A and B are shown apart, each in its own frame.
Chain A
Amino acid sequence: MNEIGLRVLVVDDERAIRRYLHAALNAQGYTVFEASGGKEALNMVVADRPDLIILDLGLPDMDGVEVTRQLREWTHTPIIILSVREQESDKIDALDAGADDYLTKPFSSGELMARMRVALRRSVQTTSEPVFELDELKVDLARRLVIVAGQEISLTPTEYDLLRILVQNAGRVLTHHQLLRQVWGGAYETEAHLLRVNMSNLRRKIEPDPTRPHYIITEPGVGYRLRTET
């Protein structure tokens, strides 16, 4: 993917963080705009039309979740939120409001780049890939086939749906709510144990070592993510 020329809006009230992100992103070829508050950010999205927004949740003038919500009213620009640990509920709210992914401060540049890549790829994808492949796992959505280490494995319809959603959002975090809604329907949003049991079964079937999951990563307190690169 050609990253040169891609425009990123960095929204954070801390000057040091903006400086660091600006430098790191520049080095990767991105063009960087900066905003220090929510209102400023909203204006700049309209004015400069960035390709990706990195949004800090702890803004002084507006709630980051609110910014996300407002943006999602009219744009699909991928949003990655930055937050501190201990604020799982904020992350979940933002993700449910439409943010694409999150990063917990302090984060490494590697993580940042990886998430950005995933988010940008999805945003430019017009058609979804029918086949997902990573290491020993291969999922063929068109033919509803799941192959692990060359062996076809059978999943229950629910387990398959679960895996499908993850594949369709590969690389991106999905909150428990989002998974429950998409697999079971809106009425089951609070039936977390359904998700757990099925996830546990799924893992046992596709993971080489269920206690050290390689493909489906638990995002503690937030949700799950299907790994896309090793």
Chain B
Amino acid sequence: MCPVPSGNRPDPDELLARVQAEEKQQKHGRLKIFFGYAAGVGKTYAMLEAAHQRKAEGVDVVVGYVETHKRVETETMLRDLELIPRQSLTYRNIQLSEMDIDAVLRRRPRLVLVDELAHTNAPGSRHAKRYQDVEELLAAGIDVYTTLNIQHLESLNDVVAQITGTKVRETVPDRVIDEVTDIELIDLPTEELLNRLKEGKVYVPEQAERAIEKFFRQGNLTALRELTMRRAAERVDDQMLDYMERRAIPGPWPAGERLLVCVSPGAVSERLIRTARRLADELKAEWYAIHVETPQQAGMSTEQRDRVDRMLRLAEDLGAKSISLPGQSVTETVTNYARSHNVTKIIIGKSRRSRWYEWLRGSVTDQLIRQSGPIDVYFVNSEAQPSFKQTEHLWLPHRPWRRYLWGVGLVIAATSICALVAPYISPTNLVVIYLLSVVITAIFLGRGPAILASILSVASFDYFFVPPHLTLAVSDTEYILTFIGLLSVSLVISYLTAQVREQAEAAQRREAQTAALYELGRDLTATVGLEAVAKTIISHISQTFSREVAIFLPEDGKLKLYTASSGLTVAENELAVATWAFEHGQLAGRGTDTLPDASMHYQPLKTTRGVIGVLGVKPSSPGAYLSPDQRRTLDAFVNQVALAIEGARLVEQARQTELLEATEKLQTALLNSISHDLRTPLVSITGALSSLEEASPVLDEEVRRSLIETAREEADRLNRLVGNLLDITRIEAGAMRIHREAYDVQELIGSTLEQIGERLKDRPLNVDVPEKLPLVPMDFVLVSRVLVNVIDNALKYSPAHLPIEIRAQTSDKYLKITVADRGEGIPTEDLERVFDKFYRVQRPDNVSGTGLGLSISKGIVEAHGGNIQAENRRGGGTIITVSLPLEGTKDG
């Protein structure tokens, strides 16, 4: 074993991450690929064999999707294996059948067989590609066996195309392969494969006969076979290295290279990226894909922008980190980035621009070589011509030829003006007018027309105004200088002006984006409450993107529609798509690879705590997709949105927690108070009785009687207290039933006083109840309890020698009973709170009672439709007034 090169020991953090990844892998299903170099080598057969073996070992195996191509041997292998029925989809009147993912997920087998990993699913399926289906199954913890041919690998796609001459469309990104647990190479000598083909044992779709002929040639097959073996070996190598690193076995560590590939709208980018991937693989290096948006490139058409996006995504699929940076010059930005990220090799396409162009603009290649310093630069050949279409102009007709026409028009206009002033000015000064026309062309019509205008200006200047007139010949060779001057200045102006304009447009665009983002952020910080936040988000997104928006938030673990733009209805199946996006943390819906038939585009809202919700955006018309620019802005918005929603939710949670705490505290205090009040009379009772028990013969009559009296009084008090508690509980629970009948007020007062009984002893009492009062509807038992409480209150809080006055009268459709005492009165601010539960006026002396009486009274009186009030009396004391309506329904 080689000694470990210094500085390249496995980083402990990396090791930890790897262990964690391993652990995660256990919960993650394991993927085994049966890998072959061509159709017909026997992958499906081998997979089925392995499945049978697993089944014999007792593993729960089911078949998700296996394509037998009607081969008898394969079909026999399928017997004895449980088949999950496929789901059939109709597409353009053709019946297609695909694997039913949900059925497999429901079935939850240990292992599922899924043939043809690179297959594209029929429209209407959940995912666009079968490998995405497999990823979902793996994420659910189900192991998968699958089959794959070498030509379906993304990174080798172009190599295979070179070998076989046919480009395969269905590809699988390499990252899927990299995460695979096991690759089993199914190999077959090429002669045997060709024999099989002849015997008709290889599946051949009729349409592809000619292609197949081309494909199945000895040379091709051998090359493919070698490529396959090599790739499989690489994987084994990877696994071995991984193993060694994990166990900290010193070995040939990767050299620690880092690659950077530059992506441009040109066609060469795809090749660059695949090359970078292979290089990165060989060097075991990390790699980055960078796109620099220079001011010139700011004038890219949507197509080009799209292409750049696709390239960046491709790079990510292949395992790179993609970035898009703005910058003045490609070289500078790239080299700066490379240096700050410790890139060791830069890969860039060989430019095929003409020398003339390069000389004018300076070739990126040269600059890069000069500025790269210690970093290696690799130039990769490209076959395609770089294309660079004209920008889309915002102000004038889009079609290019129209602009050129206008350019020519301007030159003609300039010529006419010159013709007018020619007699008065020397020819050289006429140049100025032409220059002006070029400037105008450059500003309004773009680079191309401006260049044309420049040339035409020189030509027409020469033709019309330089002697000899009306020829392109020049008599005075000094004019050549003028020509050169005019042309060069025009060209420079064209470029600079056009550039400035393009920069301005780009800046405008970026500014609009930033402004929208800033405004969203600013409004969100000012908004409080989840509802308000959601409304703000919806209005901003609707405005910025002119689209309808829906926000989905989880409730009790299930995703539900929280709010949406007015007029937007969300169907059930749309909710299912949103739920998928939520559960998997990935984009779904229109314009994505997953469930693209949905009517809305769903974006999961992610924060550090995970996915907290889903944002749905509905296009204004079914065909309108978001431009890549808009999508970038939406991405930025979504981040803000996720944070804002999370923030609002956390605030609410905090508030609820606070509320809960406060309620709990209150409840504890109340329970303590009640417990104390219930126990206190018991103390006297138990004390008195136990004293009597113990010391009865010794005690004299007086003492004995006094003890007995105390016990009895306290027992009464306890009884009243229990009664009060029951009443208040009943009132609170809404179980207090009012049974109204017409009663005589005198009788009411009489019965009340009778009930109070002993407590009234020796207390002066003035009762004023007129004889002619009408009968009042009331629940006699309850209302007398009210009066008992109120009078008891007066008794408790006023001195024994001062009278209590009870009066009854009718006033204004109500019966009013007032109880007035000459006690201390109630502080003004407490006049209302007196009727609160457990309220007791702060008094220095020990007044008994739980403070429930008045609150019970209030409950009963209000249930009658009346009310109860306390006020202070002139001269000291309190008046409590109970009002009961004179009209009332007669209850049964």
Asked if residues A212 and B753 are in contact (CB atoms below 8 Å), the reply is yes
Is B652 on the interface with A (CB-CB < 8 A)?
no
Asked if residues A106 and B775 are in contact (CB atoms below 8 Å), the reply is no
Asked if residues A218 and B715 are in contact (CB atoms below 8 Å), the reply is no
* Assembly CA distance A204 to B772 (angstroms): 11
Asked if residues A193 and B746 are in contact (CB atoms below 8 Å), the reply is no
* Assembly CA distance A14 to B751 (angstroms): 31
Q: In chain B, what residue has the closest Cβ to A88? A: B781
Stretch with Cβ within 8 A of B (4 or more), from A15-23, A122-130, A194-202: A194-202
What residues of chain B lie closer than 8 Å to A200, measured between beta carbons? 744, 746-747
What residues of chain B lie closer than 8 Å to A106, measured between beta carbons? 715, 719
Q: In chain B, what residue has the closest Cβ to A217? A: B754
Is B269 on the interface with A (CB-CB < 8 A)?
no
What residues of chain A lie closer than 8 Å to B746, measured between beta carbons? 200, 203, 210-211
Is B726 on the interface with A (CB-CB < 8 A)?
yes
Given contacts A86-B726, A88-B781, are A196 and B743 in contact (CB under 8 A)? yes
Asked if residues A212 and B750 are in contact (CB atoms below 8 Å), the reply is yes
Contact with B along A197-229 (1 / 0, CB 8 A): 101100110000011110001101100000000
Is A85 on the interface with B (CB-CB < 8 A)?
yes
Residues 728-746 (chain B) with a chain A CB within 8 angstroms:
741-744, 746
What residues of chain B lie closer than 8 Å to A193, measured between beta carbons? 741-742, 775
Asked if residues A220 and B775 are in contact (CB atoms below 8 Å), the reply is no
Q: In chain A, what residue has the closest Cβ to B719? A: A106
* Assembly CA distance A95 to B310 (angstroms): 93
* Assembly CA distance A48 to B363 (angstroms): 126
Asked if residues A220 and B742 are in contact (CB atoms below 8 Å), the reply is no
Is A192 on the interface with B (CB-CB < 8 A)?
yes
Expressed in whole angstroms, the minimum distance between the Cβ of B788 and any Cβ of chain A is 10
What residues of chain B lie closer than 8 Å to A203, measured between beta carbons? 746-747
Expressed in whole angstroms, the minimum distance between the Cβ of B890 and any Cβ of chain A is 9
Asked if residues B742 and A192 are in contact (CB atoms below 8 Å), the reply is yes
* Assembly CA distance A204 to B747 (angstroms): 11
Asked if residues B769 and A196 are in contact (CB atoms below 8 Å), the reply is no
* Assembly CA distance A218 to B747 (angstroms): 7
Is B780 on the interface with A (CB-CB < 8 A)?
yes
Asked if residues A211 and B749 are in contact (CB atoms below 8 Å), the reply is yes
Q: Taking chain A's interface residues, is the majority helix, strand, or loop, or is none over half, making it mixed?
A: mixed
Contact with A along B711-731 (1 / 0, CB 8 A): 000010001000100100000
Asked if residues A192 and B741 are in contact (CB atoms below 8 Å), the reply is yes
Expressed in whole angstroms, the minimum distance between the Cβ of A199 and any Cβ of chain B is 7
Chain A interface, number of residues (Cβ within 8 angstroms): 20
Asked if residues B749 and A218 are in contact (CB atoms below 8 Å), the reply is no
Is B579 on the interface with A (CB-CB < 8 A)?
no
Asked if residues A211 and B750 are in contact (CB atoms below 8 Å), the reply is yes
Chain B interface, number of residues (Cβ within 8 angstroms): 23
Asked if residues A204 and B771 are in contact (CB atoms below 8 Å), the reply is yes
Residues 754-776 (chain B) with a chain A CB within 8 angstroms:
754-755, 767, 769, 771, 775
What residues of chain B lie closer than 8 Å to A85, measured between beta carbons? 723
Expressed in whole angstroms, the minimum distance between the Cβ of B837 and any Cβ of chain A is 20
Given contacts A88-B781, A196-B775, are A210 and B715 in contact (CB under 8 A)? no
* Assembly CA distance A48 to B65 (angstroms): 88
Expressed in whole angstroms, the minimum distance between the Cβ of A179 and any Cβ of chain B is 14
Is B784 on the interface with A (CB-CB < 8 A)?
yes
What residues of chain A lie closer than 8 Å to B769, measured between beta carbons? 211
Asked if residues A211 and B767 are in contact (CB atoms below 8 Å), the reply is yes
Expressed in whole angstroms, the minimum distance between the Cβ of B459 and any Cβ of chain A is 114
Given contacts A85-B723, A211-B746, A211-B749, are A220 and B780 in contact (CB under 8 A)? yes
Q: In chain A, what residue has the closest Cβ to B753? A: A212
Q: In chain A, what residue has the closest Cβ to B751? A: A218
What residues of chain A lie closer than 8 Å to B755, measured between beta carbons? 220
* Assembly CA distance A106 to B714 (angstroms): 13
Q: In chain B, what residue has the closest Cβ to A204? A: B771
Expressed in whole angstroms, the minimum distance between the Cβ of B561 and any Cβ of chain A is 49
Expressed in whole angstroms, the minimum distance between the Cβ of A220 and any Cβ of chain B is 5
Q: In chain A, what residue has the closest Cβ to B768? A: A211
Given contacts A196-B742, A200-B744, are A211 and B775 in contact (CB under 8 A)? no
* Assembly CA distance A217 to B750 (angstroms): 9
Asked if residues A220 and B781 are in contact (CB atoms below 8 Å), the reply is yes
Given contacts A88-B781, A211-B769, A220-B784, are A196 and B747 in contact (CB under 8 A)? yes
Greatest chain B CB density within 10 A among A192, A220, A221 is at A220
Q: In chain A, what residue has the closest Cβ to B742? A: A193
What residues of chain A lie closer than 8 Å to B751, measured between beta carbons? 218, 220
Asked if residues A199 and B744 are in contact (CB atoms below 8 Å), the reply is yes
Q: In chain B, what residue has the closest Cβ to A105? A: B719
Cβ contact of B754, chosen from A192, A197, A218, cutoff 8 A: A218
Cβ contact of A221, chosen from B719, B753, B781, cutoff 8 A: B781
Expressed in whole angstroms, the minimum distance between the Cβ of B770 and any Cβ of chain A is 11
What residues of chain B lie closer than 8 Å to A212, measured between beta carbons? 750, 753-754, 767
What residues of chain B lie closer than 8 Å to A86, measured between beta carbons? 726
What residues of chain A lie closer than 8 Å to B780, measured between beta carbons? 220-221
What residues of chain B lie closer than 8 Å to A213, measured between beta carbons? 747, 750, 754
Q: In chain A, what residue has the closest Cβ to B741? A: A192
* Assembly CA distance A213 to B749 (angstroms): 10
Asked if residues B775 and A197 are in contact (CB atoms below 8 Å), the reply is yes
* Assembly CA distance A28 to B301 (angstroms): 114
Contact with A along B262-283 (1 / 0, CB 8 A): 0000000000000000000000
Given contacts A192-B742, A193-B742, A199-B744, are A218 and B775 in contact (CB under 8 A)? no
Q: In chain B, what residue has the closest Cβ to A196? A: B744
* Assembly CA distance A210 to B780 (angstroms): 17
* Assembly CA distance A188 to B526 (angstroms): 72
* Assembly CA distance A213 to B769 (angstroms): 13
* Assembly CA distance A86 to B719 (angstroms): 13
Greatest chain A CB density within 10 A among B723, B742, B747, B784 is at B747
What residues of chain A lie closer than 8 Å to B781, measured between beta carbons? 88, 220-221
What residues of chain A lie closer than 8 Å to B719, measured between beta carbons? 106
What residues of chain A lie closer than 8 Å to B743, measured between beta carbons? 196
What residues of chain B lie closer than 8 Å to A220, measured between beta carbons? 751, 755, 780-781, 784
What residues of chain B lie closer than 8 Å to A88, measured between beta carbons? 781
* Assembly CA distance A218 to B775 (angstroms): 16
Contact with B along A86-123 (1 / 0, CB 8 A): 10100000000000000000100000000000000000
Asked if residues A210 and B750 are in contact (CB atoms below 8 Å), the reply is yes
What residues of chain A lie closer than 8 Å to B767, measured between beta carbons? 211-212
* Assembly CA distance A197 to B774 (angstroms): 9
What residues of chain B lie closer than 8 Å to A210, measured between beta carbons? 746, 750, 771
Expressed in whole angstroms, the minimum distance between the Cβ of B721 and any Cβ of chain A is 13
Greatest chain A CB density within 10 A among B746, B749, B781 is at B746
Q: In chain B, what residue has the closest Cβ to A219? A: B751
Q: In chain A, what residue has the closest Cβ to B784? A: A220
Contact with A along B436-467 (1 / 0, CB 8 A): 00000000000000000000000000000000
Expressed in whole angstroms, the minimum distance between the Cβ of B736 and any Cβ of chain A is 10
* Assembly CA distance A23 to B781 (angstroms): 33
* Assembly CA distance A197 to B780 (angstroms): 15
* Assembly CA distance A200 to B741 (angstroms): 15
Contact with B along A71-97 (1 / 0, CB 8 A): 000000000000001101000000000
* Assembly CA distance A131 to B186 (angstroms): 123
* Assembly CA distance A79 to B750 (angstroms): 28
Expressed in whole angstroms, the minimum distance between the Cβ of A157 and any Cβ of chain B is 20
* Assembly CA distance A104 to B755 (angstroms): 13
* Assembly CA distance A210 to B747 (angstroms): 8
What residues of chain A lie closer than 8 Å to B747, measured between beta carbons? 196, 199-200, 203, 213, 218
Greatest chain B CB density within 10 A among A85, A196, A218 is at A218
* Assembly CA distance A212 to B765 (angstroms): 11
Expressed in whole angstroms, the minimum distance between the Cβ of A183 and any Cβ of chain B is 17
Q: Known pairs A88-B781, A211-B746. 11 more at Cβ < 8 A? A: A193-B741, A199-B747, A200-B746, A210-B750, A211-B749, A211-B753, A212-B750, A213-B747, A217-B754, A218-B747, A218-B751
11 example contacts (A-B, Cβ-Cβ < 8 A) are as follows A88-B781, A196-B743, A200-B746, A204-B771, A212-B750, A212-B753, A213-B754, A217-B754, A218-B754, A220-B755, A220-B781
The 3 closest A-B pairs by CB, nearest first: A218-B751, A200-B744, A221-B781
